Amino acid sequence: MVFLKQIPQFLVWMLLLLLLLRGFPGRRRAVSFWSTGGFALGVAGYLLLARLLPVRVPLGIIRSVMGGSFLLLWGVAVASLYRSTVRDFPLLRLDRFTPLCAMVGSGAAGLMAGGICANQLPAPDGSLLRFLPFLLLPLAGALLAVIARSVEGVVIPSYAATPSSLLAAVVALLLLSSSAAITLDLFSPLSMKVMKGTHDFVHQFMESILIPDHLFIRPEIWGYIGFLFGKEVGFWGGMIIWFTPVLLIALAIWLEPLPSVAQFRQGARRRLLLAAAIREKKHRMVIPALALVAFAAAAYRSSFPSVEYWDPKPLAVTATPAGEILIPRKGEVELEDGRMHKYLYKQGDKEVRFFILMNPSGKLTVDLDACAICKPDGYGQTEGMLLCYYCKTLIPLDTVGRPGGCNPVPVPFRELEDGVHLDASSLVNSWNQTVQSTTRSKEGGK
């Protein structure tokens, strides 16, 4: 059952192996050995770190390595484009180091794949039953490596992998693999960073040129500025950053000059060589195309994650004539079960959504179901995190209740014996302020 869920991961791992085998045709043995070893080591390392340290640490390591390799891909992409146009670029003459590359590359890829796969398993808690999958995982990885080695010659025809396209495909597949877990995903944080960056830039810019909010700027202009604040900017900006390296690598292959055939007297010979070179070039585009598909799949999976959220339907609450809302500590819902409980309060035609949550340190907190930045799409709860539906930011449960950033806006409350007491009017005011300011900048001055 646990392994059924892992099938996509295994497929990716298999593809990864096929690619590595294809990328270092002379060193199939070293590739299979190091990548399988790396995989096992990755699983073991993850297990060890997750048991000894908070789970944040291995996750952080995987994320930073993935981020780093993505940056490396950017560097390689730019360099290979440069090389294909200027011909000689000493940094990429790695031919001498091929054995080392094969070893380190497949080892690192295996390590990451192992870590990511291990992360997908239910967290170990010391019992043997939970521990068993972690033992089986390296075995499955090794089995798949054996299968991949025997299949490699048959499955993929003579599509050659250039070093840069190999790197692109490996990184893409690892990113695809890691996009399955919302805590490891990179695309959504990337687009969120772009969105926030633009947001801050526009803010700073507006302040620096001393344009007060409404005085000179007409509503139409707000419409355009509002666009810069929207999710779209983040999404498209993220897309550009996400896909450019692969496209650059493909472009580099495309721009590589055809071989010189002037020395041959026979026209037929010349044409034959040129046609073969063009065909070969097309074949070399296959792996970047595969990488592109993997990148797209990762971005898709990240935008529509298959994670299940705890997202309760808001319960309607009413206020006493004195304007106080009481939510009992026990009763219909158990407030202190560590889960988010959403409520809906209506005053006239105003609706306020808020939630109550006991954070891991055991304190109750009451917050609006909206933050000070995004459109009020609300939050969902995943393991140890809240997720903002609009910008897909993850908020650790410890920090819920603190103001700022994409955190939900906290609401003052009094905690008494019978439950949580809220002031209806301040709740409505807080909602109005938050929602007004966020919708104004989002939808352009309306």
Partner 1 sequence: MASIIIEAAGLTKSYGEICALKPLDLSVPEGEWLSVMGHSGSGKSTLLNLVGGLDRPTAGTLKVGGEDLLGRDEDGLARFRREFVGIIFQQHHLVPYLTALENVMLAQYFHSLPDEAEARTALERVGLGRRLKNRPGELSGGEQQRVCIARAIINSPRLLLGDEPTGNLDGSSTTMVLELLRELRSQERFTVVMVTHNQEVADWGDRTIHMDDGLLVREERKVF
Partner 2 sequence: MTRRRWLVHLIFRALLYRRGRTVLLLVVLAMASSLATALGMVSFSMGKRVADEVRKYGANLVVLPESARLDVGSGGLSFGAITEPAYLRQDEVESALVKSGIAAERSCHLRGALRFRNADILVEGVDFGEIRRLLPWWQLRGGWPAAGEAVVGSDLAARFHLKEGETVALDGPRGEVKLRLSGIVTSGGEEDGLLFLRLPELQSALELKGQLSTVRLLIPAEGGSLRTRAALLQQFLPKAKVTEVRQIARTSEGLLAKVKLLMLLVTVVVLVSAGSSVTGTMSTTVLERSREIGLMKAMGGTRWELLRIFAAEAFLLGVAGGGAGFLLGCGIAQFITVSVFSASAQITPWFAALSLGISVLLALLGSLGPMISVFRLDPVRSLRGE
Q: How many residues bind partner 2 (CB under 8 A)?
A: 3
Piece of 248-256, 266-274, 338-346, 371-379 that binds partner 1 (CB under 8 A): 266-274
Minimum distance between the CB of residue 428 and partner 2, rounded to whole angstroms? 18
| Structure token pair of residue 100 | 């080392």
Among 126, 157, 212, 267, binds partner 1 (CB under 8 A): 267
Rounded to a whole number of angstroms, the minimum distance from the CB of residue 264 to partner 1 is 10
Tell me the pairing of strands 315-317 and 419-423: unpaired
CA gap 209, 231 in Å, rounded: 25
Question: Which residues in the 227-266 window bind partner 2 by CB under 8 A?
Answer: none
Strand order across the 324-328 sheet: 324-328, 419-423, 414-415
Burial of residue 91, with CB atoms counted within 10 A of its CB: 0-12 exposed, 13-18 middle, 19 or more buried: exposed
Query: Which among partner 2, partner 1, none contacts residue 282 (Cβ within 5 to 8 A by kind)?
Result: none
Q: Which partner in partner 2, partner 1, none is near 332 (CB below 5 to 8 A by kind)?
A: none
- Short-list 446, 427, 316, 303, CA closest to 370: 427
- Quick one: which of 246, 263, 262 has its CA closest to 254? 246
Q: Which residues contact 399 (CB under 8 A, 6 or more apart)?
A: 407
Minimum Å gap between C-beta 256 and partner 2 is 16
Residue 402: DSSP 8-state:
B
* All residues at 6 or more sequence positions from 167 whose CB lies less than 8 Å from its CB, including other chains: 72, 73, 76, 105
Which C-beta is closer to partner 1: that of 267 or that of 362?
Answer: 267
Q: For residue 109, give Cα distances in angstroms to 95, 115, 189.
A: 20, 10, 22
Interface with partner 2 (CB under 8 A), residue from 1, 349, 361, 417: 349
- Partner interacting with residue 269 (select from partner 1, partner 2, none; CB below 5-8 Å by kind): partner 1
User: From the list partner 1, partner 2, none, which binds 274 (C-beta under 5 to 8 Å, kind-based)?
Assistant: partner 1
Contacted by 272, from partner 1, partner 2, none: CB < 5 to 8 Å by type: partner 1
Residues 15-74 interacting with partner 1 (rule: CB under 8 A): none
Smallest distance from partner 2 to CB 59, Å = 39
Tell me: does residue 272 bind partner 2 (CB under 8 A): no
Select the residue interacting with partner 2 from 275, 276, 315, 416 (CB under 8 A): 275
* Other residues' Cβ atoms within 10 Å of the Cβ of residue 270: 15
In whole angstroms, give the CA distance from residue 39 to residue 194.
33
By the rule CB under 8 A, 155 interacts with partner 2: no
Complex with partner 1: residue 279 or 414, whichever CB lies closer: 279
- The minimum distance between CB 269 and partner 1, in angstroms, equals 7
Residue 276 as a binder of partner 2 (CB under 8 A): the answer is no
User: How much helix, strand and coil, in percent to the nearest 5, is found in the chain?
Assistant: 60, 15, 25
Is 275 an interacting residue with respect to partner 1 (CB under 8 A)? yes
Q: What is the CA radius of gyration of the chain?
A: 27
In the complex, minimum distance from the CB of residue 277 to partner 1, in angstroms, rounded to a whole number:
10
- Site of interaction with partner 1 (CB under 8 A): 266-269, 271-272, 274-276, 278
Contacts with partner 2 by CB under 8 A lie at 275, 278, 349
